[in-house]
Structures are given as structure tokens and as C-alpha cells.
Chains A and B, each alone.
Chain A
Amino acid sequence: MTQEKGSTTQEKEYWRWEETRWNSPDIDWKKADIITAGVDIGSVSSQAVVMCDGELYCYSNMRTGADSPDSAIRAMDWALEGTGMKVEDMHYIIGTGYGRVNVPFGNRTITEIACHARGANFMYGPTVKTVLDMGGQDCKAIKCDERGKVTTFLMNDKCAAGTGRGMEVFANLLAVPIGEVGELSLTVDEEPEPVSSTCVVYAKTEATGLLRAGWDKNKVLAAYCSAMAHRVFTLLERINVEKDFAITGGIAKNIGVVSRLEKELGLKALPAKYDTQIAGGIGACLFGKALIEKQRKAA
């Protein structure tokens, strides 16, 4: 897969993660029987994913702006850039995520919980039983069956602890580019005590205190990553984790959190073959495909 670079990285915005776009060189969409799209408008990032006959054709992954309908349009435009495909060419479009009602060209909406389970089922295979979606502003623990249907879910969207937003706050505070946080947090010789507060605001205060007390930057990162891992571990505990286990969302790219969580669970997360942030969009596409097939069967 080749990935194009997104918008330019400004020097002082440490939280700014890389926006990406990808499209399949092998698929000719004009020959496709069913074209469906999933637009996942999250609180922090937005993805537009297009699938042809159940195969990933193109996607974009970018920041959500202040205006959700506008974010949906921008994400879709970027995903379709250079492909010649238009929104009118698609058979079904599903909006999902926090801002799902704001997708102007959507045919229907489905919650991100159902979409993430379905998406993870596609991305990691039918053996996935437990999915942890670490989103920008919430965290969802989902259990699903071998068809990617939800069997249990737990969503925590009250608090930013254990979310992408929390990580952004820390990247900025410590002036570390967000993509390097995970790696750097693993360079410590000895694992420090996790920061004691689960609240991002208090954790930030605590981290500032630790820096003043002479702690090394990486050690503070380690303390935060481990607090975040513990935080989501307690969520997962409630739903009883079963093998295989997969993580979706932006934090799945943070090895510092993932490896600490794996250690706490005593279970390895499946390695990602796709961008972990597009799971919701992929799930939405697959829902769309199923709906179209159902409609055709009925007709």
C-alpha cells in the first residue's frame, strides 16, 4: 500500500497526526456491481471509505473540523480524488460515528459500535471476539460473534481519559510529536508508577508536577501511557475479554499504550493489516452492501 502524505505538519503542533489517503491500484470501480461508502465522522477524526463488491477501494482519514457536514464532504472528496468516481455513482452511503446524522449525502445511519465490530471482523478476520475501539473522545469495548455482530458493548464517552484527545493533550504538554509518544514511552529503563488520576485535566497537572520534580520526559510519557492502558483495561474487564482481541481507532497506533495493555491483559492484540482508524468506515460499507443485496433479493 502506498500512502500519500496529508496536510503539512506545522512545527509547534505536536498533537497533529498524519492525515492519510489511499486508493487501490488494482480495482476498476466502473466494473463493480455494488459500490458502497461509509463515512465515519468522529469527534477528532473523520474517515470516508469506499468499497467495491466488498473490497476496499479507497479511503481518506482526516481531522474533523468544527462543521460536521463540511468534514463529511471534505473527507469524501479527498477519498475520491483522482478516481473519477462521484457520490452519485455509489449505491448506498452510511453515516456513522459521533457526527453520523450530519452526513449530507448519507442514506442512513448506523451506530459506530455496530460498524466497528463489523469492520474489525473484516480487518482482522472472523476469529475476533473482542474489539476495543480507542477513539478520539470515547472508548468502546465490544464483543462480537464470528459474523461481526455485536454481542456485548460498553461505551465510555463521558470522560477523555484513555482517548486520543487525552493523548493529544499530553503530546502538546511534553512537546513530543504524537506519532513518537508510544516509542519514546518504551525507552524507560524502569516502568514508573502510572499517573494516579484518570482525568486528563488532573493527569496533566500531575505530569507538570512530575516534570518540575525532575522526571525525564519519556518517563512521564510512560507513566501516562500506562495509566491509559490501565484505564481501558478496567473497561475491558467488565465485558470479559475473549480471544482473539483487536484494537481499532487512533490509539491502536500507539505502541506504548498497546504493549502495556497487552501485558495487563496477558493477551496479544492481533497485528493490524489496515489503518486502524478506518474500521468504522469499513463496517459501514459492509452494512451498506448487505442492505443493497437484501433490497435486490426482495425486488
Chain B
Amino acid sequence: MFNLIKRLIISHSYIANYGYSDGSGDYYIILDSDKCTGCGKCVEACLVGVLENYVDDYDDEIVKVTEAHSKSIKYDCGPCIPVGGERDVKCEQVCEPKAITVSIKVKGLD
């Protein structure tokens, strides 16, 4: 309860887009800091270790994409979003507040 009040009053919310666009398409993991509680379930669920817990600039404990992985989402998110295969995104599934979205758009496929 205290956490909820703290989030309502003190914390600051923003939407973080981690990832990149390159010649082949757009690869982003979008995180809503307002919804994210920092529970870390997605961190555990990720097969590759793309996500990590951290304290943001406004002193909120939330989740982010690691610096190294944010440059290779196209490949790192492959196990959950195989090209031409069924979409089975673990982090999105375990996130109760629906704070995380993986948005991968490969040119010529969608």
C-alpha cells in the first residue's frame, strides 16, 4: 500500500523505448515505468537475460533492458519471436501490470 501511494505521489512516469531501427526493421522493447513495479518476474522469465532490475534516474526501482542487449534485440528476442514462427513472449506473459511490450517489425514481413 505504501508503495502504491509513493508511486502515485512521488514517482515520475515515462515510457522507455529500448532498441533500434536499422535497414532491416524496427526492434524495440517498450517499458512503461508507471506500470512497472520492479517485481523482476520478467527478468527471471527471459530466456536470454535481456532484462535487469535497476534504480532509475528518479530513484524508482524498475526494470530495463541491459545496455549490451539493447543493441541486439533483433537476435536476442529470437527465441520468443522467431521469424515466421509463433509469437511466445515470456516477459509480456509474466508481467501482471502489462508494463512491457516487445515490438519487432521486420521489413517485408508485416
Contact = CB atoms under 8 A, between A and B. Distances in A.
A172 interface: no
B17 to A, nearest CB: 4
A158 to B, nearest CB: 4
Interface stretch (A147-155, A217-225, A255-263): A147-155
A181 interface: no
A155 B14 contact: no
B90 to A, nearest CB: 23
Nearest to A159: B22
Contacts, number: 51
B57 interface: yes
Interface residues of B, number: 17
B8 interface: no
B85 interface: no
A162 to B, nearest CB: 10
A239 B14 contact: no
Nearest to B74: A158
A134 B102 CA distance: 25
Contacts of B22: 158-159, 198-199
Query: What secondary structure prevails in chain A residues at the interface with B?
Result: mixed
Interface in B28-43: 28
B20 A158 contact: yes
The size class of the interface chain A forms with chain B is 20 to 34
Contacts of B13: 151
Contact of A155 (B12, B18, B57, B58): B18
Name, among A110, A155, A199, A239, the residue most crowded by chain B CB atoms within 10 Å (CB to CB).
Answer: A155
Nearest to A109: B57
B48 interface: no
Contacts of B21: 156, 234-235, 238
Contacts of B23: 197-199
A114 B57 contact: yes
B17 A238 contact: yes
B83 interface: no
A131 to B, nearest CB: 13
Contacts of B12: 149-150
B57 to A, nearest CB: 4
User: Which 3 pairs across A and B sit closest by C-beta, in order of nearness?
Assistant: A114-B57, A154-B17, A158-B20
Interface of B: 12-18, 20-23, 26, 28, 57-58, 70-71
Interface of A: 110-111, 113-114, 149-159, 197-199, 234-235, 238-239, 287
Given A152-B15, A287-B57, 10 more contacts: A111-B57, A149-B58, A153-B14, A154-B28, A155-B70, A158-B70, A159-B22, A234-B21, A235-B21, A239-B17
8 contacts: A149-B58, A150-B14, A151-B15, A153-B15, A155-B17, A157-B71, A158-B20, A287-B57
